Amino acid sequence: MAMDGSNAAAAEELAVGCFVSIKTTLGDDFQGQVITFDRSSNILILQEGLKGGPKRNIRLLKANYIKELSYLGQAEDPLDIKNCYLDLNSLRAREESAIRQAEAECERIRVGVTSQAQNIFDALSKTLRASSTLGQDCHSCDE
């Protein structure tokens, strides 16, 4: 099935789970499995490659850029919970780490100091083990 910008509506006929080969107007050539098609934004969401696994590349493609589309076959829903490879414990740990880091960065930002003083404090924080401010004073503890 060949598609051009005016015939991009054919992308919405693709069923979730279809394996397709796509050539874009930008010269890209790849294969993937259809996850979904968003009609309002005209974006096709694909999981690249023909196999699932713990690591997946997701490609969002504006349907207007599809030059050629070939149907390769049908498979199960790529977002099936039974075949999901998300490590929720790892994701929670990454979330907690990101929250702690954001809180630490927020604590370094001071109110009522000049931008020059904040820049000096930020530079000291990068080179010294522990830096803190008390009011207008900057304190450093380098062991």
pLDDT score at 97 = 94
Q: 38 vs 83, which has greater pLDDT?
A: 38
Q: Specify the pLDDT at position 47.
A: 85
What is the reported pLDDT for 85? 63
| 16-to-27, 65, 79, 128 alpha-carbon distances in Å | 25, 20, 9, 53
Of 5, 44, 43, the closest CA to residue 26 belongs to: 5
Tens of pLDDT along 56-97? Answer: 788 889 989 999 988 888 877 666 666 656 677 888 899 999
CATH of domain 5-83: 2.30.30.100
